[in-house]
Structure formats: C-alpha cells, structure tokens
Amino acid sequence: MSKPRNSASERNVTIKDVAREAGVSAMSVSNVLNGRGRISEATANHIREVVQRLDYRPSVAARRLRLSQQWTIGMLIVVEDPDFLSDPFITTQVTGLTNYLTANSYSLILRGMKPSDFRTTGLFQDIEADGMVAILSGEQEQREWFIRELSGLRVPLVLLQEERLPEKADCAIVRQDDFSGGRQVGQHLLSTGARTCWVLIPQVEWAAMRARKAGAASAFSDAGAPDLEIIRCGDESFDVTYEATLAALRSGSAPDAIIGGNDQMAIAAMKACMDFGLAIPDQVQITGFNAFEIWRYVDPVLTTVRSAAHAIGERAGAELIERLQVGHFRKREITLPVDFQVGKSTLPSS
C-alpha cells in the first residue's frame, strides 16, 4: 500500500505541523521565530528543536504578504570617500548591524554616496525596506537636511553617531560616548604633565570627531591649560595625516601631546614625529581612538579608547526591529559607553 502523499515527510512542513509536534499554538511558534511575545526559554528552545528536526522553513514571500513587510532594512552611508568600507569604524558598525539582522531573519541593503550627490541622486529613494539606518558626514546643517530627506521615505530611521535628535521624525539615535572618551584622553594627558596639545581631525568633520574634540577641550579648559590646536588632515588617510603632521612640526614647536581623531590618524602622526626626530612618548605623547586591531601592532603600543562600534550596529538593529513590532521607538536616544586604555605612547600619570 502506498504512503499518503500529504504526509508531513513528503510535503512542505507548515507552521501548524511544528505547533502540533511541539504541543503549542501556531502563534507561539511564530513568536519564537520572529523574536516576539513572552515565552519561557525552555519552551522556546523546545520549539527551535522541533523546527530544526522537521526542517521547517518559513516562506519569506508568504510572510511578506501576510505582514505587509519586506523583511529588509536599508542602510545609507553618506561619505566623501568612495572606499568607505575600508574605514574600520564604519565596517564594524555594518558588521554588528548585519549580524543582528541576519539572526532575526532580516536582510540588509547597503548604499553609499557622496554628500555632494545626495541632492541629485535617487539611489536611496528606491530602497524598498521596512526601516533605514544612516551614517552621515558633513556639517551639521547639511546632515540635518539629509535627515529631513530620509524622513520623507516614511519608514522608521535609526541614525548612528548623530548629536541632535530630530523632533518630529520617526527616528532614534544610537551613539557611543565620544565626548566622555575625549575627556578621558584629555584628563590622562594632563595627569602626565602635558599642557600644549594638537588634535588631528579630517577636513570634513564627523559628529563623533567633533564630540571627541569637545571632550578633550573640556578637560583642558577645566585645568586652565592652553586651548587645543586643531590640525586639519584632509581625508584622514595615513599619507595625508602624515604630511599634515610633518607640516605642522616644521612650522613651529612640537606640542606636548597629539590626539588623533582615530587610531589610523594617531599612528600616522606617530610615524611623522619619529621621522622628524622626536621620541615617543618622552618628547611627544600620542593618543588614538577606537582600539581596533591596528592599535596593538605599533611600537610603542598606542594609548587609545576602545570603541563600541560593533555594539552600535547591533543596538541599531534591535531598536529598529522593536520599533517595527510595537509601532514606536521606546527610547529615542541611546549612548553606549567607551573604555579608555593606557598604552606606551603616553607617559605614566604623575
């Protein structure tokens, strides 16, 4: 006698099959698969085991039709450098976001464009997504214009590393505490006896760079130390930062310390100082920011601030998915902590 053709083993397994096998409702299975509802961890694990054993695979197309969702998040990176994914801070944020979305059955559409192209291109307007994440560069007024344009897409928006929250937009900000990180750098340098200090920042400022500079400046101001001197370093690449630091050294006296806007800039400045004949840290102290892998490969090991970049991306994904589920952002501004870590490129505190 032949086996019935409608058996679960010879047809596509449905969510009802999983629910029947697990001894729960179809809604419970759906909630576990989509990260919703309040279900005990034991029950959730049991449902996941049944899903795996039955090889249940939800129909993405059916789910989109049923829930009127794309199950896709768009990400827009507005930056002058077309090779923006070579920046470890951007890449780490993207990785954190992608990992979280993938774990929650969402896909990511990534677009990059120059600030000068934003007004003329339609690259971001054709993204069919349930929500957007954006990393913006440029002056504050320009970034605010970008945000207004993105708000016109009428999907929830999460901004990474922004300073000001738009009042009326369906929007949240996830940032790290760059001001606190900069202030800790400044306080450490002051504790070593440093009084004159340069800050290296790119020509086009990021909100994060501005916050780091402001934090360090506040520490120097509170101590009655001279104002920080800003050294503009074009596109913040190694070669440009190296040449900008050399030019500044040739034009006057070397400072007690140099604060790099990020680790790459700090390392370029370190090389420039060494080639200029200055000993690190005895004659010039140098600090960076972000503590990605390169900080530990230089000699002396860089004093820096450990970034929360990966956590920023993850949290952006979490907040956006929760917004899609509950209909509003529970918290519109989220600031993640950073950790200051002392290396050998600065002197011990006195």
Do 160 and 135 share a structural domain? yes
Residues 6 or more apart whose Cβ sits within 8 Å of residue 88: 264, 290, 292, 293, 294, 309
- Specify the 3-state DSSP secondary structure of 260: strand
The pLDDT tens digits of the residues spanning 39-61 come to 888 888 898 899 888 888 765 44
pLDDT tens-place string over residues 204-229: 778 899 999 999 999 999 999 999 99
Give the residue with greater pLDDT, 325 vs 246.
246
Does residue 157 sit in the same domain as residue 107?
Answer: yes
Q: CA-to-CA distance for 128 and 230, rounded, in angstroms?
A: 42
Examine the pLDDT at 3 and tell me if it is beyond 60: no
Beta bridge partners of 78: 113, 136
The SS3 assignment for 143 reads helix
Q: Considering only CA atoms, which of 95, 132, 130, 97 is closest in space to residue 111?
A: 132
List pLDDT tens digits, range 289-313.
999 887 778 899 999 999 999 999 9
Residue 4's pLDDT band (cuts 50, 70, 90): very low
Q: Is there a single domain that holds both residue 266 and residue 330?
A: no
112 is a domain residue: yes
Same domain? For 202 and 288 the reply is yes
How far is 18 from 48, CA to CA, in rounded Å? 9
Whether residue 272 has pLDDT greater than 90: yes
| Whether the predicted pLDDT of 115 surpasses 90 | no
What average pLDDT does the structure give for the chain?
87
Q: Cα separation of 113 and 108, whole Å?
A: 16
Total residue count of the chain as it appears in this document: 350
Same domain, 117 and 205: no
pLDDT at 22: 92
The C-alpha atoms of residue 349 and residue 124 are separated, in whole angstroms, by 49
Domain, as residue range, for 152: 72-176+309-337
Q: Are 75 and 111 in contact (CB under 8 A)?
A: yes
| 248 neighbors 265 (Cβ within 8 angstroms) | no
CATH code for the domain of 122? 3.40.50.2300
d(CA 213, CA 287): 12
pLDDT number for residue 60:
47
Q: Is the pLDDT of residue 92 over 60?
A: yes
The structural domain count of the chain equals 3
Residues 170 and 314 in one domain: yes
Residue 3 maps to a domain = no
Residue 228 lies in a domain: yes
Answer whether residue 271 is part of any domain. Answer: yes
**pLDDT at 176 > cutoff 90:** yes
Q: Under a CB-based contact definition with an 8 Å cutoff, are residues 296 and 145 in contact?
A: no
Residue 242 lies in a domain: yes
